[in-house]
Structures are given as C-alpha cells and as structure tokens.
Structure 1
Amino acid sequence: MTWKMIALDLDGTLLDRSGAISEENAEWVRKAHSSGITVVLVSGRHRLRMVPVVERLNLRLPMITTNGCETWSADGRLISRCVLPWKDVEAVHLFAFQHNVQYRAYCAEGVFDSDRSHHLAQMDYSWLKVLLKSEDRRSLYDAHERLLATNRVELIVYGLPGEPQHIDVQPKGTGKASALDSLCTSLGIRPEEVVAFGDDRNDIEMLRWAGMGVAMGNAPDEVKEAANMIAPHYLESGVGRTIARIMQQASA
C-alpha cells in the first residue's frame, strides 16, 4: 500500500505529558512529510494551541481543530468551520447552570471558561465546541442526558459508562472522521490511503474510517478495538516508531 496521508492526534499520541514532541517522533514526522506524504494534525484542541506544535516541527501542515469543527490549510487558510446554532448554545448554557456544571467554550475567537465573569461578554461569538466538566459525576451525567435528548448536538463522553469525566458538545454531524474525509476529498486522497493515529474516544470514528487505524498503547480498550494496529505507548515515541515501521514496509 502506498500511504498518501498520516493523520495525527496530539495529546496522548504525538505529544508527551508536558506537550513536547520527542526527537524520534519529530524525526519520523519530518521524514514522512519530506517523502511526499501529507501529514495533518487532528485534535480536540483549539487552533491557537495547535499552531505551536506545527512551529516546533518546523513544517507547514494542515490542521483539523476542535474535534473536526474547523479545518485549516497548510498555508493557514480557513477551509471550513462548523458552529453551534444559537439555540444549542443556549441549551448548553442552561443545562450547565441547572446542574451546576462548568464548561469551557471553544469559540472561533478564543477559549472562555464559564467560571470567569468576562465569559458572558462572549456570548455572540462563534461557538465551535463546549467542554463540560464537573467533579460531581452525577450532575455531569444528568446534563449529558438532557443534551442527548435534544438530538441536536454531537456528544463525546470521556470516562466510564454512567460516570463521565468530561463531555465534548459540538455541532451535529461533526467529528474528526467527517472533517478528515472532507479534507481528503479535496486533496484527491482515498480513505484507504490514510494512516490515522489516536488514543481516545474522540478518535474512534477516525480510526475506523482510515485505511490503517493505529491506536496508541495507552488507549482504552474500546479505542484499541476500533484500530487495525496498536502502536507503542505515547511516552515511548509510539508515533515515530510506527511511522518508521510503516514507511519501511512500504519501501520493501
């Protein structure tokens, strides 16, 4: 198989605990890029927190941000953006307030926390994704159930069933897989020509969609079950070691 794209999740995949990139990871990402493979970063992070990663790699790479709500070209041009309709922003705000759940709003204009007074001044911004969080798992679960019942948003739950640690709320139909599919269509790349790396629940559909889905050794079992291959742990430069293996097999 000739691989034409490598899609890389960041936290728990390419980056270590401090947000740094190991030398082995950086080396093989650059080698893949220089060989003509399109490398795209695909993350739940806001674009503002992804740009420094690209700068550390010293490459120009396309980026899919906020779990697929935005896609940016390698030259920094916005390709697509999906935002939460105002009625859904209101629902998230109301349910979070009623269940004493805090949230972090990922807007096109920046990131804002619900526990900071200046946040309310940003209500007219373009909301991409909302991260719900609370130490009270029951309250977070109740907020999740009410949002799920609306059938108007995509929900990604992290943690054990019935005991969410946090929840991503984003526009209906969005996700890493759908954004990656749109980007590949524009580039003339087929899903079977893509290798995708990930470690968490927001990566599952992307791993299933790609021709080669690679789950990190540190990923939960349900993420590993969605993959074709298991990479070494992210703290063992699992991305770099797996890219090396894939490129060597392709050239054999």
Structure 2
Amino acid sequence: MNYNLICTDIDGTLLNADRYLSDTTVSAFANLPTDTVGVNFPTVLASSRMPSAMYYLQEGLGIKNAPLIAYNGGLILGENGVCIESHTMPLGILEALLPHHAKYTYNLSIYADDDWFTDQEDFWSLREINNTRVTPTYQSALDSLETLRKAQRAPHKLMCMGDVGEIDSIVSHLSDIYSDAVHLYRSKDTYLEITPKHIDKAKALRILLENNFDFGMDTVMAFGDNHNDEELIKHAGFGVAVANATDQLKRLANYVSPFTNKEDAVAKAIERFVSGQ
C-alpha cells in the first residue's frame, strides 16, 4: 500500500528518553520520498501540546511551517500557521474550577491559542518547561481568567498537575456538571487535561486533509500510544501502536510495533513501510 501522509503523536510515541528526536528518527523522516519537484513528504504532528511546543520538533524534522494539530484537535493549523479551525471551552468552566484550585496545591495551567498561563513556578511548571521548551506567563488563575475575559478569548485546554488524590478531586468536582461540555483525560495519574468534549485527532485530521490535501484518511499512516490517539489509529488507513501503547490502542491498530518510543518505533516503521514505496 502507498501512503500519502504521516500523522504522529509526540509524547510517548515520537520522542526518545531525552524528550527529543533521535538521530535515527530524524534520518528516517529525511529519507522519506519527495515528489517530482522535491517537496517534502507530508507529515503532521498531532498532540495535546500547544503550537509553540511543537514548532521546534517540526524544525528538527525538516518540516517547518507544515500543518499541525494542537490540543488533541482543538486547534488545527494549516501551512504557515494559518488557522483552519479552533475549538475552545466556555470560560465558565475555568471560573468553576478556581474555588476548587484555591483549596489545593496542584498546578493549574491555562492554554489559549499559543499562550500558556500558570500561577507559579513549581515542580510541575518547571517539568513542562523542560519537556516542551516553552515558558509560561506567570500570573494568578484569577488574573488569567480576567485576561481572557477582557480579550474575549477562551481556553483551548486546562491542565492540572499534582497529587493523585487532588487530581481525583478535580474529576469529581467537574464531571457531574460539565461532563457534556468537556473531556477529562488523564495521560497519567498525576496529569489531567481538560478539553472541549467533541474533538479528537481523527476529526481534526479529516478537516486538515479537506483543506490542504487532495486525498483522504485511507492513505494516512498514523502513530500513537495513548487513549487520546484511539480515534486517529482507528480511522487512519494504517494505524501503528508503539510497543508502550495502551492495550486498547494495540487492539485498534493495524500494526503493533515491537519497539517503544525510546527504541525509535516510528522511525523503524517508516523505514519498513514507507521509505521504499
């Protein structure tokens, strides 16, 4: 089968133990076939990350200014950063979380467009800075709420990082009232990502293909490792789960790599299935 585009998750899928691109991965993407005028093989990064936390990886792969899918499908950017679609959540959800946040110590990070707001430099924010190479704007959550309200903006994502019990409490606090409006996704026991309900990477990729390309999902090779990749792996023409993926994702995949993200799973699958096509 011939593939026309690669769409890959980032954390736990594409990046190595150093949270970056291995030489093997960079080489695999560099060796992808080009078209008759030398244009790069289409590659789309799809992540829960904000755009700025993806740009340096695009540069590393030699696909600067390529389309991308941020916030698990909440923000779809075409070539050169042109916004195709943007899905945010009501400011009332952030407002409802503030009294709860005031009682606990978890980090509350607020993402809107390409801005990241959080109230303090702590273990969690420093960890995210290290992982994503983005520095937040430090201000109180209340000030962030007012900043967004005055600009008539709304969050693409809220992320809560902290003690497992505190994260459990957030889920209980929000799920009864806002379960129809937001998706509460735990990438780890200590991480909770809150995004608009009816978005996913597969929906976003379909929209991107309709706007920027002349082929459909059936010729896409997709890679993932976690629950937020399920729709993408299910609906891509060829879905690949890395060895460290969840059991559910492996069941949905067309191919389960014997290699983890730390063992260059994406690169090895590209070399096996795409480079020689």
Residue 71 (structure 1) aligns with = 76
1:121 deviates by 2.6
Q: What's the CA shift string for 1:156-196, capped at 9, x where partnerless?
A: 1234xxxx322110112122222112112222332221111
Residue 49 of structure 1 corresponds to 53
- Alignment-mate amino acid for residue 131 of structure 1: M
Aligned counterpart, 1:242: 269
How many residues end up aligned between the 2 structures?
Answer: 245
3-state SS of 1:243 partner = helix
CA distance in structure 2 between the aligned counterparts of 1:182 and 1:148, rounded to whole angstroms: 29
Question: 2 CA distance for matches of 1:201 and 1:110?
Answer: 25
Please report how far the alpha carbon of residue 52 of structure 1 lies from its aligned counterpart in structure 2 after TM superposition.
0.7
Return closer, same or farther for 1:7/1:34 CA change in 2, 3 Å cut-off: same
Q: Which residue identity does 1:132 align to in structure 2?
A: C
Aligned-pair identity (%): 25
Question: Compared with structure 1, are the counterparts of its residues 9 and 142 closer, same or farther at alpha carbon in structure 2 (3 Å cutoff)?
Answer: same
Cα displacement string for residues 105-157 of structure 1 (whole angstroms, at most 9, x for unaligned residues): 1222411224466133322333110112221x233223213322222112212
Greater CA drift, 120-129 or 1-10: 120-129
Once the two structures are superposed, residues 76-98 of structure 1 have per-residue CA deviations (whole angstroms, 9 ceiling, x without a partner) of 22222111111122123344345
Which residue identity is paired with 2:9?
D
Stretches of 4+ moved more than 4 A in 1?
A: none
Distance in 2, Cα, partners of 1:66 & 1:225: 24
| Corresponding residue to 1:182 among 189, 201, 207 | 207
The answer to whether the 8 Å contact 1:3/1:37 transfers is no
Normalised by the size of structure 2, how large is the TM-score? 0.80
Distance change (3 Å), C-alpha of 1:114 and 1:227: farther
Once the 2 structures are TM-superposed, how far is the Cα of residue 99 of structure 1 from its aligned partner? 5.6
* Partner residue in 2 for 1:59: 63
Q: 2:256 and 2:181 mapped to 1: Cα distance?
A: 34
The unaligned stretches of length 5 or more in structure 2 are 122-137, 149-153
Query: Which secondary structure does the structure 2 equivalent of 1:16 belong to?
Result: coil
Which is richer in strand?
1
Offset, 1:33: 5.9
- Would the aligned equivalents of 2:32 and 2:275 in 1 still touch at CA under 8 Å? no
Aligned residue for 2:131? none
CA contact (8 A) 1:106 1:128 kept: yes
The alpha carbon displacement at 1:102 in A equals 2.9
Q: Distance in 2 between matches of 1:131 and 1:107?
A: 12
Determine if contact 1:204/1:223 at 8 Å carries over to the other structure. yes
Tell me which residue corresponds to 2:174. Answer: 147
TM-score (norm 1): 0.87
Deviation at 1:248, TM superposition (A): 5.4
